[in-house]
């Protein structure tokens, strides 16, 4: 069994390197499929650390695979590094203040995600090398988690073939191991085409594409009452047809995202939304086209691997915030509503929750519990979980109650507490991975569990084979 103190020592000796990588990616703040600086930085560090790096995997310029070692087992570690649109924010302050107006920002903490996973991969590599152990560790550089479904493309192109198990993590406001599934989704543009005309002089000659979009949105609002409670339908009007009210809009576009616990449910709702679009076109004498953007599967949890991660998290213990960390967290919480302050990303016992009311930052570990509760957000990690046993943990990188995809997250993701929790995640993943190097029977157990959870169902990529990653995709986030 790998010595906890040895792994801690490896990561702490290189802590400045991992923190520098996280902070640089925070500064780059690159969006889906455009993470050229971020991916190059990670590739360069991994090459310097002795990994063999394969760039452009799955036909995606910013996706890569970094490999060290040889033979079995092959353990994968997931890294992400994409930012969000319109979330530019100055670091380490508690006021909304963009660095660049309408610029990008790491409101989901993927700067730390990529760097924390890097720390784990390097620690495993150093351990294998020092102890002359066989086996392979792979760092998967995964772009475009935010609405681009980068990993889904990577799974479709068999990038994870031959991997025995995968570990990942995500910045959060709590320390926990994820024991719940996440929703599948489909994201699609509906583009309506009409006929322009003078809206006052000859409106009867016009056919409004904007009317079609609005009628589609109204119809979908009525549909919401008649779908399962765990489903979600979101939309954004991405093109309203122009800025002139005296012109009948000949073109308009709306982007729809449909989520549900299973892909079959998503597809059923999706077909109903398509019928609503058809109806809107008929009512307005317009035409429409569907532009498929992306999709991803529901998460298949693996309790075998989850319990390993939880044991390692308990073994290491939570990051204990110092006075400076608590002071900053309290200032951030002053910017939150009472409802936000009481928000947790997973279901917890009310008695446990009541005991946290006075805390500004998580200095505790949530008890692990496998739950049928669905996390309504989505992640392309889910597609990986269909083909390889997969586990993920959360570590507390920002103040309790901080909502995801917010300026408050961006401000905190370059802070000292975030750095410490990022390194904690690296240690958890490294120790979890090395447990599998030491106990191959756990891999067999995890694979058996995955097979049982799928009940004979085969993975079908939710993105059609003719759809390719787009550098010109619109603004949408998971």
Tell me: do 394 and 447 sit in the same domain: yes
Residue 466 within a domain: no
Residue 87 within a domain: yes
Report how far apart, in Å, the C-alpha atoms of 22 and of each of 16, 41, 83, 240, 433 are.
10, 10, 12, 38, 22
CB 275 within 8 A of CB 360: no
What CATH number is given to the structural domain containing 253? 3.30.70.360
Q: How far apart are CA 225 and CA 401, in angstroms?
A: 29
Residue 476 within a domain: no
What CATH number is given to the structural domain containing 388? 3.40.630.10
Tell me: do 47 and 132 sit in the same domain: yes
Cβ contacts of 270 within 8 Å, gap of 6 or more? 186, 188, 258
Tell me: do 54 and 173 sit in the same domain: yes
Tell me: do 21 and 69 sit in the same domain: yes
Tell me: do 335 and 215 sit in the same domain: no
Three-point CA angle 409, 167, 162, nearest 5°: 140
pLDDT of residue 478: 42
Tell me: do 419 and 312 sit in the same domain: yes
Of 68, 58, 63, nearest to 78 (Cα)?
63
Considering the entire predicted model, what is its pTM?
Answer: 0.94
Q: What is the CA radius of gyration of the chain?
A: 23
Residue 471 within a domain: no
Tell me: do 234 and 161 sit in the same domain: no
Residue 27 within a domain: yes
Q: How far apart are CA 222 and CA 203, in angstroms?
A: 28
pLDDT of residue 469: 87
Residue 442 within a domain: yes
Q: How far apart are CA 81 and CA 406, in angstroms?
A: 17
Residue 50 within a domain: yes
**Domain end: 252, 279, 296, which one?**
296
Tell me: do 278 and 177 sit in the same domain: no
Tell me: do 169 and 97 sit in the same domain: yes
Q: Is the peptide bond before 73 cis (omega within 30 degrees of 0)?
A: yes
Q: How far apart are CA 313 and CA 320, in angstroms?
A: 13
Q: How far apart are CA 199 and CA 248, in angstroms?
A: 5
Tell me: do 258 and 199 sit in the same domain: yes
Helix (H) or strand (E) holding 79: strand 74-80
pLDDT of residue 349: 59
**Domain end: 264, 296, 328, which one?**
296
Residue 259 within a domain: yes
Of 209, 383, 210, 234, nearest to 296 (Cα)?
383
The pair of three-digit structure tokens given for residue 246, joined into one six-digit string: 């005296």
Instruction: Please give the average pLDDT of every successive group of 10 residues along the chain, which has 478 residues.
Output: 89 98 98 97 98 97 97 98 96 96 96 98 97 96 93 97 98 94 96 97 97 98 97 96 96 97 97 98 98 95 98 97 96 92 68 71 92 89 98 96 95 98 98 97 98 96 90 47
Strand 64-70 relative to strand 52-55, pairing: antiparallel
Number of domains the chain is built from: 2
Range of the domain at 269: 184-296
Tell me: do 290 and 304 sit in the same domain: no
**Domain end: 296, 325, 351, which one?**
296
pLDDT of residue 344: 72
Tell me: do 365 and 393 sit in the same domain: yes
């Amino acid at each position: 069994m790998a010595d906890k103190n040895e792994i801690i020592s490896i990561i702490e000796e290189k802590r400045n390197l991992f923190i520098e990588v996280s902070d640089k990616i925070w500064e780059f703040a690159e969006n889906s499929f455009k993470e050229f600086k971020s991916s190059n930085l990670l590739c360069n560090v991994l090459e310097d650390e002795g990994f063999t790096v394969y760039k452009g995997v799955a036909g995606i310029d910013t996706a890569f695979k970094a490999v060290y070692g040889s033979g079995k087992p092959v353990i994968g570690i997931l890294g992400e590094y994409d930012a969000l649109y319109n979330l530019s924010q100055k670091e380490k302050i508690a006021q909304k203040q963009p660095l660049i107006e309408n610029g990008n920002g790491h409101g989901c903490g993927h700067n730390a995600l990529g760097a924390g996973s890097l720390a784990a991969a390097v620690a495993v590599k150093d351990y294998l090398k020092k102890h002359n152990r066989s086996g392979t560790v792979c760092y998967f550089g995964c772009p475009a988690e935010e609405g681009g479904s980068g990993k889904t493309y990577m799974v479709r192109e068999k990038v994870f073939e031959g991997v025995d198990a995968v570990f990942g993590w995500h910045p959060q406001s709590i320390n926990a191991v994820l024991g719940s599934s996440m929703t599948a989704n489909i994201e699609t543009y509906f583009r309506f085409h009409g006929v322009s005309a003078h809206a006052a002089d000859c409106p009867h000659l016009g056919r409004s594409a904007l009317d079609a979009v609005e009628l589609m949105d109204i119809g979908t609002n009525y549909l919401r009452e008649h779908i399962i409670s765990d489903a979600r339908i979101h939309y954004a009007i991405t093109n309203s047809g122009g800025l002139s009210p005296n012109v009948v809009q000949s073109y308009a576009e709306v982007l729809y995202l449909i989520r549900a616990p299973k892909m079959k449910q998503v597809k059923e709702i999706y077909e109903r939304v398509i019928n609503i679009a058809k109806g809107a076109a008929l009512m307005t004498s317009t035409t429409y086209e569907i532009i498929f953007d992306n999709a991803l599967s529901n998460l298949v949890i693996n309790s075998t691997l989850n319990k390993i991660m939880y044991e390692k998290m308990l073994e290491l213990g939570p990051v204990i915030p110092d006075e400076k960390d608590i002071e900053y967290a309290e200032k951030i919480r002053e910017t939150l509503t009472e409802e936000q302050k009481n928000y947790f990303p997973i279901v917890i016992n009310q008695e446990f929750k009541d005991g946290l009311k006075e805390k500004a930052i998580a200095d505790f570990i949530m008890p692990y519990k496998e739950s049928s509760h669905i996390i309504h957000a989505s992640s392309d990690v889910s597609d990986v979980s269909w083909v390889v046993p997969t586990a993920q943990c959360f570590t507390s990188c920002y103040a309790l109650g901080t909502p995801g995809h917010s300026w408050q997250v961006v401000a905190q993701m370059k802070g000292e507490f975030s750095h410490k929790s990022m390194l904690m995640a690296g240690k958890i993943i490294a120790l979890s991975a090395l447990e599998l190097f030491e106990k191959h029977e756990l891999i067999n157990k995890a694979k058996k569990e995955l097979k049982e959870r799928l009940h004979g169902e085969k993975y079908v990529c939710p993105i059609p084979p003719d759809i390719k990653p787009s550098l010109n995709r619109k603004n949408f986030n998971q």
